[in-house]
Amino acid sequence: MKLLSTTGLVALLLLLAGCASNPPGPGAQTDAPSSLTTHAETAFPAPSRHTPIYPQGELTPIAPHEPAPRRVAALTPPDDLWERIRSGFAMPDLDSPLVPGREQWYAARPQDLENMAERSRMYLFHIVEEIERRGLPTELALLPFIESAYNPQAYSHARAAGMWQFIPSTGKLYQLKQNAFRDDRRDVLASTRAALDYLERLYGMFGDWHLALASYNWGEGSVGRAIAKNKRMNKGTGYLDLNMPMETRYYIPKLQAMKNIVADPGKFNIKLPVIENHPYFDTVNITRDIDVALAAKLAEVRLEDFKALNPSLHRPVILAAGTSQILLPWDNAAIFQRNLDAYAGDRLSSWTVWIAPRNMTPTEAAERVKMSEADLRYVNRIPPRMLIRAGSTLLVPRPASQERDVTERIADNGQLHLAREQVPRKAGAPRRTVLKVGRKGDTVANIAQRYRLPASSVARWNKVSEKAVFKAGDKVIVFL
């Protein structure tokens, strides 16, 4: 082997050093922020990892001709998902006297807090991924704790449903299907997408995360009117300046309290369960109608776990034309596909859809489809004393001869329309009547005599004594 001369060796070392100082090429890994392609780019710029997203001036994007920053050190993602959430906090802290009270409330209920955190285990990684993909502050991953205790089956008196608590009208506005077979307000993927779309839009409207969150709870119209009112009165227009309902007044202090607990659980004597920074579920495509129980069996997961990952399904069958994919625990997705390919059963679905040709009672419908009335009511969730209206889609047993699955039009748009059944009054039954006293001095006794009723009954119906005297214009209840 021919050795290099001293001069040649020095030249070679200088050449290598020069190569090492060049910026990385197009294929090299760098820490340059990737460009976002979400619909909210025009609303606010994508923040850097440690730059607050609330308004502090526009971030200057890297021009195409500028060299990308040099890679200094490899970044190792945290093993713990809570640490990942902490590192993405970017909202300004709320300085409100209501926050300590909410902290104490949560800290006094460590078991409830632990149950909520355990419930979030299935969904939290996906939500954090989506939040970071959009460049949003990771405090938003804590919002379902406040909205629903991370329960996708949560339902409020205002008819809000799911982890993110969408009311029907707002759900429809953000393309969340609500039909006879599924409710996307409870769907993990669809509801998270809709919630983040909505929050991005609200931030774009107000340029302030506290006002955006208040709007999520109270409505953007209400917040906008409160701001306009304060402007007319020369008052401040921040979240703490506005007059708002008590629920909204406590809403953001609750989120701030949860943020403080996650940031430093030891301070509050709280021990958060370890949640690994790893996907919990995987998506699996569905090409044929399949019973929910069979899908869980083929995936080798408990039925309740299957329903927890697919909470939008509220019938015992998955209609492939309307629900093209399901969620399964990460390791069970491949198991499901393997078992499905090897399944030797006659068919995957034992249900189909029947459309009511006219208004009818559940009894009549059950006779038409050859099933018991109790089963028809249970499967289709028909309450007592209700009529089935014409055009309603009902889930019924699938005949052995039927090979075709339910069509997309029905699977995506089928609805169950009910009307209250009119029960005729029995002949001779008393009828409640309200009388208006025409002259001063009418008493319980003479009204009872006039209508041939017991004075004690007239007194009881009107919650007065038998010697009571009515004034002209008083209303008296009798049963005739």
Instruction: For 374-394, write each residue's pLDDT tens digit.
Output: 999 999 999 988 999 999 999
Distances (CA, A) of 212 to 30, 200, 238, 386: 33, 8, 11, 41
81-268 is classed CATH 1.10.357.10: no
pLDDT in tens, 234-257: 999 999 999 999 999 999 999 999
pLDDT in tens, 83-116: 999 999 999 999 999 999 999 999 999 999 999 9
Mean predicted lDDT score pLDDT of the chain = 85
Distances (CA, A) of 241 to 91, 206, 255, 454: 18, 15, 18, 62
pLDDT in tens, 144-196: 999 999 999 999 988 999 999 999 999 999 999 999 999 999 999 999 999 99
Cβ proximity of 447 and 476 under 8 Å = yes
Cβ proximity of 345 and 290 under 8 Å = no
- Does 471 have pLDDT greater than 90? no
Residue-level pLDDT at 177: 96
> Which tokens hold the place of 474?
């008083």
Taking residues 4-19, report their average pLDDT.
40
Do 81-268 and 432-479 share a fold?
no
Nearest Cα residue to 375 out of 364, 388, 366: 366
Please name every residue paired with 317 in a beta bridge, in sequence order, or none if there are none.
291
Q: Angle at the Cα of 129 (from 121 to 220), degrees rounded to 5?
A: 95
Nearest Cα residue to 143 out of 166, 111, 159: 166
Look-up: residue for tokens 């021009």? 63
Name the percent of the chain lying above pLDDT 70: 82
Distances (CA, A) of 377 to 307, 405, 432: 21, 23, 33
CA 102 to chain centre: 23
Nearest Cα residue to 170 out of 138, 151, 147: 147
Residue-level pLDDT at 426: 62
Taking residues 66-81, report their average pLDDT.
59
- Does 29 have pLDDT greater than 50? no
Q: H helices within 264-315, ranges in order?
A: 292-299, 303-309
Q: Where are the beta strands (DSSP E) in 341-468?
A: 351-355, 386-388, 393-397, 418-420, 432-436
Helical packing angle, 124-133 and 188-206, nearest 10°: 40
What are the backbone angles phi and psi of residue 31, rounded to the nearest 5°?
A: -100, 15
pLDDT classification of 447: cutoffs 50, 70, 90: confident
**Would you kindly state where each structural domain of the chain is located, as residue ranges?**
81-268, 281-342, 351-420, 432-479
Claim: this prediction has a pTM higher than 0.75: no
> Which tokens hold the place of 363?
């009894």
CATH number for the domain formed by residue range(s) 432-479? 3.10.350.10
Catalytic residue numbers?
Answer: 147
Distances (CA, A) of 77 to 121, 278, 422: 18, 10, 63
pLDDT in tens, 150-161: 999 999 988 999
Residue-level pLDDT at 346: 73
Residue-level pLDDT at 54: 32
Nearest Cα residue to 153 out of 323, 304, 332: 304
